[in-house]
Structures are given as C-alpha cells and as structure tokens.
Amino acid sequence: MVAEISHPLSKYLREAMMPHIWCSGCGNGIILNCFVQAVDELQIDLKKLVVVSGIGCIGRAAGYINTDSFHTTHGRPIAFATGVKLANPDLEVVVISGDGDLFAIGGNHFIHAARRNIGIKVICANNFNYGMTGGQQGPTTLLEAFTTTTPYGNIEHPFNLVHLAAASGATYVARWTTLHVRRLTQSIKKMLQKEGFNFIEVVSPCPEIFGRRNRMRTGLQMMEWFKKASIIEHFSDPAKADITPERIVVGEFVDIEKPCYEKLLYDKMAQILT
C-alpha cells in the first residue's frame, strides 16, 4: 500500500480548485506559496482571514486559498475589502491582485485606502502587463517594453509602485521579486502583524505573455533578469526606486506607525456612545 502523501501546506489550499490556471514559469504560484507559508508560520486563525482579489491571472489567488475569499470585479478588491474590514475589524483582510487591477482601473481605491490607513494588507503581483487578457500594456509596463498593444515599444512612463504607496500614506511598503522567496515570506509575516494599510509589490515573471515579447521566453530567463538587476537596499528613498531593465531596488521602504482608520473610527464611535 502506498501511503497518501499530502503537501504540508495543502490545508491552506482548495484542492477542489486545482489544477490552477497559471502557466508554467509564472510567478503567481511563488507568491501564493510565500503567502500561505507566512500564514502557516504565524499560525493565523484561518477563520479570521479573508482574502480578496480582483480580476486577472493573479486574481485567481483568492479562490485557491482555503479561507473566506471573494473574487471581486476588476479593480475593486480594495474597495470591497474596505467594507469587510470596517464591518468586522477583527478579521485579517488581505488583497492579492495585479498591477493592472490595483493601479490602472483600481488606482483610485488604492491611494484612498492608503490615505485612510485602513487595515488592509495588499500584495501586488507586478508582472508589467495584463496577463489575463493576453499581454497588453499596463501602468507598470517599462518604457520601450513590447506588449500586444505597444508593438513599437512602450512610450508611457510607468508607475513606481513603492513611491506611490509611500506617498499615499501606507505604513509598510516593501518590494521583492519572486526570486526573494524567504525575504518575501518574512515581509508578508511582518505586514500581517502590523496595523494599518500595508503594501508589498512582488515583481513577478510572466514568461508566457510578457517575457517572450521581451527576449525572456522562460520563467528562468525572467528570474535571471531579476537576479542580475535587483539590489537590496533597505529604507532607501522610494522616489528613487523606479524599476528599469538595469535596476530593481528591492527591500523595505517604509515601516512606520500611524493610527489606523478602523481604530480611529471605532474610538470615535465609543466616545459618541459614552
């Protein structure tokens, strides 16, 4: 008899949803793995964890994690999560979504949630394009990069997400690539233990759609780019952390304390009621 072997983290995943939809070489699985690893190491009560995603390849993450989860419309996971967090501040509310979802169509919700400093933890899989719809240009596509809608090279300046998050008021801001598995996991753990609006950008390979148009056909080639270009610089100026083909500054950028929205709100309510 062969004993049934199951993955030590399988209780965190909805096996009924497998196989997942992601391409081989995609970074989304690494991000998902780091997240459940962090949840496991912190022994977070799964009954108190809510994972929310928008629409996109990475947007399927919510469905794969075995907690209360919601797959919203494109761009709206943070706004949805705002309702969840305020309705029950005891819940740990995590948004896992894409660069297009969070910063193009959903950009307004991101900056305002950061401004309010509401206790939502946001993980963005930045793969420099719209994977789900077949590889169009997006708000983080690098200058001169090729996508299905920038066949002559991109002329739009990309967002520097960590700068945007810091300027908008996030109390924890970090950037890693999918190469930095241990550091990313540590960062997620840190963020899950902090109050307020916290943000991690994960630079992630999309070899299938983005890579192959930009001379990186495989996940490995994309990871080699990350390896070559990334430099760890903790608490460097996020304004100077623009991603270029030559340089990906990674590390923690912001780690500050500031009263969070739900606490201010509930304190105010308590004052009014006494």
Least distance in Å: CB of 160 to ligand TPP? Answer: 16
Binds ligand TPP by CB under 6 A, chosen from 32, 52, 58, 248:
58
Least distance in Å: CB of 145 to ligand TPP? Answer: 14
57-116 residues in contact with another protein (CB under 8 A) are 62-63, 66-73, 75-76, 79-88, 90-91, 108-109, 112
44-103 residues in contact with ligand SF4 (CB under 6 A) are 57
127 contacts ligand TPP (rule: CB under 6 A)? yes
Residue whose tokens read 């809510």: 50
Nearer to another protein by Cβ, of 13 and 143: the residue is: 13
Cα separation, 218 vs 203, whole angstroms: 15
Nearer to ligand SF4 by Cβ, of 26 and 34: the residue is: 26
Nearer to ligand TPP by Cβ, of 202 and 223: the residue is: 202
Q: What b/e sequence results for 75-114 when a residue is b if at least 16 CB atoms lie within 10 Å of its CB, and e otherwise?
A: bbbbbbbbebbeeebebbbbbbbbbbbbbbbbbebbbbbb
Cα separation, 212 vs 24, whole angstroms: 13
Least distance in Å: CB of 57 to Mg ion? Answer: 7
113 contacts ligand TPP (rule: CB under 6 A)? no
Site of interaction with ligand TPP (CB under 6 A): 55-58, 74, 98-101, 125, 127, 130-133, 138
Site of interaction with another protein (CB under 8 A): 14, 16-17, 46-48, 50, 52, 62-63, 66-73, 75-76, 79-88, 90-91, 108-109, 112, 265, 268-269, 272-274
